[in-house]
Amino acid sequence: MVVQSAAEAITYPAVGAELDIEGISHAFDIDGATLPVLDNVNLAIAPGEFVALLGPSGCGKSTLLRLVAGLEKPRAGTLREDEVRISGPHPSRVVVFQDPTLFPWRTVWDNVALGLEAQGILKAQRHRVDDVIELVGLSSFRNAYPHQLSGGMAQRVALARALVNDPKILVLDEPLGKLDSLTRIAMQSELVALWQRKGFTTLLVTHDVEEALVLANRVIVLSDRPARIKADIAVARPYPRHRGDPYLAELRKQILGLLGLEATW
Amino acid sequence: MSTYSVSDATAAAAPRAAITLADLSGSYGVGLAASLVWLAFGLSCLYWPDVGDWSRTGSLGIGAIVVAAFILFGTFSADYLGGAGQALRKRAPWLVAFGAFVTLWEVATAKFAWLPLPFFPPPQSILEVYTDDLPKLLDSVFASIKLQLGGYIIGATVGFITGVSIGWSQKIGYWVHPVLRFIGPLPATAWLPIAFFTFPSSWSASTFLIALATGFPVTVLTWSGVASVSSAYYDVARTLGAKPSFLVLKVAIPAALPHVFVGLFMGLGSSFAVLVVAEMIGVKAGLGWYLQWAQGWAAYANMYAALIVMSLLCSGAITLLFRTRDRLLVWQKGVVKW
C-alpha cells in the first residue's frame, strides 16, 4: 500500500504496477529525415497512481503510450513495469484507443472475450467476460454487433475488453475524445469509479485540461515536439471531484499558461 | 361470374370482409389475371390444332391449366399461406408477363409457324426434351457439377491460402507476386491446348483450368483484403496478448472475408465460362458437351432445354454463395441482396 504525502492522504490497493520511464528518446524516419518525437523523458509512476499526460497536439504523447504498451521500441532509454524491462506487448498493460476499434465481425461478448481467447484461457474463465460486461452496464447488448452500438457504448465495450484482462497498468489514449460532452462527463465518473474499485495504475493521454484535472491525481504537462516534461503537477483533491472546484480552476489556469494558452482564460 | 363464386366460398370461411369489386381490381386482380393468362395458354394448347407434329402439346396444356389452378388457389388464400402467399402476391405481375410470353411463343411457333424451324421450336418440344431425353440431360448435369465443384474448390482453396500468405508475409509476396502478375491476367481458356496434352486426362486438365480461373480473382482479392486490414486491429490484439497465429486466423482473415467473397463471386463467374468451353472442346460429358452435341444434330429444342438448365444451375450456385456470405457476414451492413 502506498500513501501519498499530499494534503489528503489517498490510499491505493496494491493491484497496480509501478511504471518507470527512464531517459526515453524516440524518433521517426519520414522521407529520409529523422523526426524526433520524445526527448529524454523521465517519469516514475507509483502503483495505483492515475497520471494524465497533457500536451499540444502531435507532441508525441501517443507515441509515449505506444512505447509503454510495448507496441514499439524506444531509440534510447528503458521502460520498466515492476522493475521488469518492457520488451513487447503484454496483457498486463492494456491500451484503450481513441477509436473503440472493436472487431466488427465479433459481437460485444466476443469482443470483450478477445484477450482471454488470445491468451488461451477463455474456456476456463468465461465468467470474467460476463462480469466485466455487467460492470460497464452492457449486459443487454452482449449479442449486439459493434455497428449497432452508439459511440459511448462502443467505448464502454473497449474499456470492458481491456478490463477483462485485469491489467496492472491501464493505458488510455484519449478514450473519451470522440464522445459527445454529456456522454463524456458520465464516462469520466465511471472511469474514476472503476479505477478506485480495481486499483490499477492508469496512464491517460488527453487534450482536455479539465478532464485531466477531474480524473488524475498527477498531471504531466509535455512540451511541443520533441516532447519533454514541462511540469509535474499533483492534484491533491479527493474524489468525486467537482468541475467548479476553485482549486481545480486555479490549476487549470496554471496548466493553460504552461501550454501557452493563458489568453483564453 | 363463375370465378366469383369460388372466391366467395373462400371468403365465407374468412372472418374478414368478403371480397369486394375493389379487391378484384387490386390485390387479387393481378393474381386473377395471371391465372387467366395461364388458362388461356393451356386451352390454346388443348383445343387449337398445331401446324406441325408435336407430341407433347396435350401434356403442356394440362400442365398450364394446373399452373393456372395453383395461381388461382394461391391468390385467394394468400392470407392463409404465410410467406408463400406473400411471395406469390409479389410475383403475380411476373406470372402474368411470363404466361403471356409462353402463350405468344406457342402461338408464333406451333399455331401459326411464323418463326422458322428448326431454330425456334415451340414450348412443347422443350417439354419433350425434359421428358424423353431426361437421363442424358441428368448425366450431363451431374458431370458438369462434378467438374465445376472439384475445380472451384481446389481453385478457391489454393487462391485463399496464396492470398493470405502474400498479404501477410512480404517474403512470400516477393516470390509469388511476379508469377501472379505474369500468369493471372491470362484468360484460363488460353491454356486449353497446352492443358489438354500435358494432363493425363481431359477431366484433370479441365479441373486445372477451372481452378486457375477461380484462383486468380480469389488470390488477388484475399491478398488485398488482408493487406488492407487496419493496423489498429493488430495493435489491439497484440496488447491483449495475441500471438502471430491468432493475428492471422482471428484478425486478418475475418477482416478480409468481405473481400474474399467478392473474389469467390468473380471466380465463380469466370470458372463457368471455362467449364463450358472445356466441356465443348475436350471433355465428352457435361452440359457444354450436350449443347455442342445438340447443335451438331440441329436439335435446337435440346439446346434451349440445356441452356435453361445451365442458367438455373449457375444462378443457383451464385445464390448459394451469397447465402453463405450473408450467414458469415451478418455483422456487415448493407450487403447486396442477390
Measured in whole angstroms, the distance separating CA B324 from the mean position of its chain's CA atoms is: 15
pLDDT of B206 above 50 = yes
Count: domains in chain A: 1
Calculate mean pLDDT across residues B149-153: 94
Decide if A115 is inside a domain. no
**B336 Rama sector, left if φ>0, alpha if ψ -120 to 50, beta otherwise:** beta
pLDDT at B201 over 80: yes
- Using one digit for the tens of pLDDT, what is the confidence trace for A105-138? 999 999 999 999 998 888 888 888 998 898 888 8
Q: How many other CB atoms sit within 10 Å of the CB of residue B94?
A: 11
All three cell numbers of B193, joined, read: 491446348
Give the integer Cα–Cα distance in Å for A158 and A101.
7
Mean pLDDT computed over A191-197: 87
Say if residue A3's pLDDT is above 60: no
Supply the mean pLDDT for chain A. Answer: 84
Nearest to B241 among A71, A90, A147 (CB): A90
| Band of pLDDT at residue A9, cut at 50, 70 and 90 | very low
| CB atoms closer than 10 angstroms to residue B118 | 11
B202 CA to centre of own chain:
26
CB contact (8 A) between residue B332 and residue A104:
yes
Which chain A residue's Cα is nearest to B248? A118
Q: What is the mean pLDDT of residues A80-87?
A: 86
The band of A15, judged by pLDDT with boundaries at 50, 70 and 90, is confident
**Chain B residue whose CA is closest to A106:** B331
Residue B19's pLDDT is 57
CATH number of the domain within which A89 lies: 3.40.50.300
Residue A154 domain flag: no
In a domain, A244, yes or no: yes
Contact residues, chain B, for A145 at CB < 8 Å: 330-331
**Three-state DSSP class for B61?**
helix
Interface of B with A (CB under 8 A): 230, 232-233, 235-243, 246, 250-251, 254-255, 257, 329-333
- Quick count: other Cβ atoms within 10 Å of Cβ B244? 10
pLDDT at A152 over 80: yes
Nearest Cα residue to B176 out of B168, B203, B114: B168
Smallest CA–CA separation between B228 and chain A, in Å?
Answer: 14
CA distance B247 to chain A (A): 9
Cα–Cα distance, B322 to B332 (Å, whole number): 13
CB within 8 Å: A71 and B251: no
Name residue, grid cell 524516440.
A26
Q: What is the mean pLDDT of residues B7-29?
A: 55
Residue B18 — pLDDT band, cuts 50, 70, 90?
Answer: low
**Residue B21, pLDDT score:** 58
pLDDT of residue A132: 87
- Top-ranked range on mean pLDDT: pick from A172-186, B118-132, B198-212: B198-212
Look at residue B320 and give its three-state secondary structure: helix
What domain range is A184 assigned to? Answer: 2-98+167-264
Contact across the interface for A71 and B333, Cβ inside 8 Å? no
**Distance of alpha carbon A209 from alpha carbon A200, whole angstroms:** 22
- Provide the sign of the torsion angle of the four alpha carbons A128, A130, A131, A133, taken in this order: positive
Q: Per the domain annotation, does A149 fall within a domain?
A: no
What ipTM goes with this model?
0.84
- Any domain includes A31: yes
Residue in the block written with cell 517474403: B171
Q: Where are the alpha helices (DSSP H) in A42-167?
A: 61-69, 108-112, 114-118, 126-135, 151-163
Please answer yes or no on whether A69 and B239 come within 8 Å at the CB atom.
Answer: yes
Handedness of CA B109, B111, B112, B113 (dihedral sign): positive
CB contact under 8 A, A71 and B235: yes
Contact list, A161 vs chain B (CB under 8 Å): 236, 240
Q: According to the model, what pLDDT value does residue B328 have?
A: 87
B119 within 8 A of B294, measured Cβ to Cβ: no
Residue A109 lies in a domain: no
A59 by Cβ neighbours in 10 Å (0-12 / 13-18 / 19+) ranks as buried
Kindly report the nearest CA distance between residue B124 and chain A, in angstroms.
51
Spatial CA neighbour of B204 closest among B251, B150, B142: B150
Q: Given this model, what pLDDT does residue A55 score? A: 83
Region B193-216 average pLDDT: 90
Q: What is the largest CA-CA distance in chain A?
A: 57
Q: Which domains does chain B have, with CATH numbers?
A: 2-116 (no CATH), 134-328 (1.10.3720.10)
Q: What's the pLDDT band for A28 if we cut at 50, 70, 90?
A: confident
Identify the three-state secondary structure at position A70: coil
A101/B331 CB distance under 8 A:
no
Q: Would you call A103 and B254 a contact, using CB atoms and an 8 Å cutoff?
A: yes
Indicate whether A185 belongs to any domain. yes
Strand A50-54 vs strand A19-30: parallel, antiparallel, or unpaired? unpaired
Mean of pLDDT values over B189-194: 87
**Residue range B36-73, pLDDT digits in tens:** 999 999 998 888 888 878 888 888 899 999 999 999 99
The answer to whether A69 contacts B240, with C-beta atoms less than 8 Å apart, is no
Closest chain B CA to residue A98: B232
Chain A residues in contact with chain B using a Cβ-Cβ cutoff of 8 Å: 66, 69-71, 89-91, 93-95, 97, 99, 101, 103-106, 114-115, 117-119, 145-147, 161, 165
Q: At what angle do helices B134-168 and B202-227 cross, to 10 degrees?
A: 40
pLDDT: is B288 or B19 the higher one? Answer: B288
Q: Name chain A contacts of B230, Cβ cutoff 8 Å.
A: 101
Provide the edge-to-edge strand list for the sheet that holds A19-30: A33-45, A19-30, A76-81, A84-85
Give the pLDDT of residue B11. 44
**Residue of B233, B234, B239 to mutate for A, most A C-beta atoms under 10 A:** B239
Q: Could you tell me what percentage of chain B is helix, strand and coil, using 3-state DSSP and rounding each to the nearest 5?
A: 80, 0, 20
Rounded to an integer, the average pLDDT of A164-183 is 86
Chain B residues close to A119, C-beta within 8 Å = 240-241
Percent of chain B exceeding pLDDT 90 equals 43
**Which residue of B232, B238, B333 is in closest CB contact with A97?**
B232
* Cα–Cα distance measured from residue A201 to residue A169, given in angstroms and rounded to the nearest whole number: 5
**Domain presence at residue A123:** no
β-sheet bridge partners, residue A19? A45, A81
Contact at CB, B331 and A105, closer than 8 angstroms: yes
pLDDT value at residue B26:
63
**What average pLDDT does chain B have?**
86
Angle (nearest 5°) at CA A258 between A56 and A225: 35
A4 pLDDT exceeds 60? no
* B239–A93 CB contact, under 8 Å: yes
Q: What percent of chain A has pLDDT over 90?
A: 13
